[in-house]
Amino acid sequence: MTRRTPPLLDTVWPGHPYPLGATWDGQGVNFALFSKHAEGVELCLFDEKGRHERQRIALRERTNDVWHCYVPQARPGLAYGYRVHGRYKPEEGSRFNHNKLLLDPYAKDTVGELRWSDALYGYSVGSKRQDLSFDRRDSAAFMPKSRVLETAFTWGEDIRPNVPWQDMVIYELHVRGFTMRHPGVPEALRGTYAGLGTKAVIDYLQGLGVTTVELLPVHAFLNDRHLAEQGLQNYWGYNTLNYFSPEPRYSASGKVKEFKTMVKSLHSAGIEVILDVVYNHTCEGNHLGPTLSMRGVDNASYYILNGGQPRYYDDFTGCGNTVNLEHPRALQMVMDSLRYWVQEMHVDGFRFDLASALAREAGKVENLGTFFAAIQQDPVLSGVKLIAEPWDLGHGGYQVGNFPAGWAEWNDRYRDGVRGWWKGDAGIVGELANRLAGSQDIYGWSGKKPNASINFVTAHDGFTLADLVSYNDKHNEANGEDNRDGNSNNLSWNCGTEGPTGDPTVLALRERQKRNFLATLLLSQGVPMLLAGDELGNSQQGNNNVYCQDNELSWIDWNLDEPAQALHDFVARLIALRRRHPSFRRRSFFRGTLETGDGAKDVVWLRPDGPEMIPADWEGEHVRCLGMLFSGTGLIDVGGRGEHQSDDDFLLLVNAYHEPVSFTLPQRKAGWTRVVDTAQDGPETPVTEPSHVLEGRSLALFRSRTGNGAP
């Protein structure tokens, strides 16, 4: 049977400048593209697979720098792109080249894959004049195409879980890496959104106690050319091509609705979906990068150009360019994208990569700048979860503790403090205490609460937990950069042997250290974030930068041996303990005193011999053991409803010294019950002795019932 070629679309109406992008209204499609500096715009239509250009439509209408038309014969599924005419003067910041087919910055769907070719560059690759030269080759054959999307979807009774901040347990995962080897996911669905929405995966997340999954980038992204030429992949996805369309490689069906179905399935299980988003830069790179979308649409508007030499970009991201959120149309694009993912895709929030770059105005970080003001007043976005990675690579970019109200932050001081403590570093007992108590020293000054701190020990960028306790040094040789890439300051300790070993003493110590880290994380005030696979002892063989490893090195291994299963069960018990007891989920910082009027304190820091810590103790370089006694009496404002709720009293003991330490237990009429002990796994055990011998490099948690505690 011969496929009929669709007729040419010979009817074109003026259309409207809003909304931007390609919008199907049930009768036709409105096309709208912003470009302030363009001299002409052509809409290019392709066959359904995006392989052959069939028609060009010159956009005659221009309203407020938006070029637009309405095509009544167009339908969803239509593949298209743009050619934008204008001056090619890189030294002036103008990089128009109508020979280059451009992806619509507002494309809701794409078809086809990018195939690397010199034709994708606006200049002649290899020319002595570099990007000052002009390339006349047509790039359409190598480009993915935008595709008109029918956005309708039956959400039914989908309800956002709206998990209170203090109750969240975030689980950072990679859509592909999490499901590629999962035995409960059908083989055809592994590595996809559909795979992540399967019953096997959801049952696992619920059983572990996860409330919120944070997905590594799912915006459509590119595989870098230098990686493709080495046979590697951009695995993490921090190389965005388009801010509206989901990455097609993660779709088993090739349809956008697969992502929506995944979200709906997770929501039905009470699990939130947060996206890791990369609005700070795009895949077009520096002045020698390809012309794929925004660079060819309006380079001078979308990117921050160097004020003295606009041929070059101001790069605050380390990726070649920075999106110019000072420009109202670039800001509009980001805001429209965020709202689209909330309203159309039903996601529950965002983690912003290199968020300080979004705050830059005139090159400086302004925490209450335009972007943050826009979010704060937005009726949609002000109501979702907002998490900042509070730094970028530019001057003044480190802004931990300085993001506006309503924002939580990745707290790298928590990561480094806890890693340093269990590694045995000197002089950081005060740092550990601050992190255990919710980092009031970082967030309290601005009126924020403990839930402003996203606590983590490991994340996608760096060692896994298993590698943190197995390697002193990174081992990134597989990345092809002679082990130069990745952070060399990991605050890791291999427990005596570098890498794999059969030594039972070393293996036992590593298992205990894993438990120490996980228990510290889940018993601290603030919002805990787990790296997917850490609860299973997943290893990346010492590679702390698997951004380009889309293979078994980075995929989670679900073949669980006895230690892996035991570690998983330990984490599940800790999360359940945290969920039962509001003492670990306080909405306000410790005050120092209780409201009982008897001078009792809500938290007391203890020495091993029993007395409360004094200033001289905090200054000790060799302090390796600490007790934290916190009262469950009169916990304030549970769940944000103005209610009061009491809990049991808890005593947390941590010993980073290599030898056992005898710890005098505070007297309690109800006595103490040992709830957690990383040195010996077992059931809760009543304590009959006045002291407890805390094993070397271990943590123990004790509970004393007050009569008003959680069940």
Tell me: the pLDDT tens digits for 634-665?
664 445 555 557 899 999 999 999 999 999 99
> How much is the mean pLDDT over the chain?
95
3-state secondary structure of 409: strand
Residue 644 confidence (pLDDT): 59
In terms of Cα–Cα distance, which of 606, 618, 707 is closest to 666? 606
Residue 620 confidence (pLDDT): 86
Give Cβ neighbours of residue 558 (< 8 Å, ≥ 6 apart). 181, 182, 183, 536
DSSP 537-600: T---TT-S-GGG--STTTSPP----HHHHHHHHHHHHHHHHHHH-GGGS-SS---SS-TTSS--
Answer whether the bond into residue 19 is a cis peptide, omega within 30°: yes
Residue 632 confidence (pLDDT): 84
Res. 2: pLDDT tops 50: no
Res. 480: pLDDT tops 90: yes
Question: How many whole angstroms separate alpha carbon 703 and alpha carbon 671?
Answer: 8
| DSSP state letter for 131 | G
Q: Band the pLDDT of 1: cuts 50, 70, 90.
A: very low
CA distances from 654 to 275, 433, 584, 624 (A): 34, 11, 16, 8
pLDDT tens readout for residues 47-104: 999 999 999 999 999 999 999 999 999 999 999 999 999 999 999 999 999 999 999 9
pLDDT tens readout for residues 296-305: 999 999 999 9
The pTM assigned to this predicted structure is 0.96
Q: Which whole number is the average pLDDT over 684-696?
A: 95
Q: Band the pLDDT of 316: cuts 50, 70, 90.
A: very high
**Burial readout 84-107 (b: 16 or more C-beta within 10 A, e: otherwise):** bebebebeebbbbbbbbbbbbbbb
Res. 236: pLDDT tops 50: yes
Res. 711: pLDDT tops 60: no
Query: Which amino acids are annotated catalytic?
Result: 353, 389
Q: Which whole number is the average pLDDT over 227-240?
A: 97
Residue bearing the bigger pLDDT, 40 or 360? 40
Choice among 580-584, 609-613, 614-618, 640-644 with the minimum mean pLDDT: 640-644
Res. 229: pLDDT tops 70: yes
Residue bearing the bigger pLDDT, 634 or 540? 540
Res. 274: pLDDT tops 60: yes
In terms of Cα–Cα distance, which of 89, 83, 94 is closest to 43? 83
Choice among 2-11, 603-612, 613-622 with the minimum mean pLDDT: 2-11
Provide the residue type at 202 as one letter: I
SS3 helix, strand, coil % of the chain, rounded to 5? 25, 20, 55
Q: How many residues does the chain have?
A: 711
Residue 600 confidence (pLDDT): 78
Res. 147: pLDDT tops 60: yes
Give Cβ neighbours of residue 219 (< 8 Å, ≥ 6 apart). 237, 240, 241, 242, 243, 244, 245, 246, 247, 275, 277, 278
Element (H, E) at 33: strand 29-34
Provide the residue type at 406 as one letter: G
pLDDT tens readout for residues 366-410: 766 899 999 999 999 999 999 999 999 999 999 999 999 999 999
Residue 119 confidence (pLDDT): 98
Res. 151: pLDDT tops 60: yes
In terms of Cα–Cα distance, which of 111, 90, 115, 86 is closest to 99? 86
Question: How many whole angstroms separate alpha carbon 171 and alpha carbon 183?
Answer: 20
Q: Band the pLDDT of 110: cuts 50, 70, 90.
A: very high
Residue 216 confidence (pLDDT): 98
Res. 10: pLDDT tops 60: yes
Question: How many whole angstroms separate alpha carbon 479 and alpha carbon 231?
Answer: 10
Residue 707 confidence (pLDDT): 55
Residue 6 confidence (pLDDT): 59
Question: How many whole angstroms separate alpha carbon 22 and alpha carbon 8?
Answer: 18
Residue 636 confidence (pLDDT): 47
Which residues on adjacent β-strands are paired with residue 53?
Answer: 46
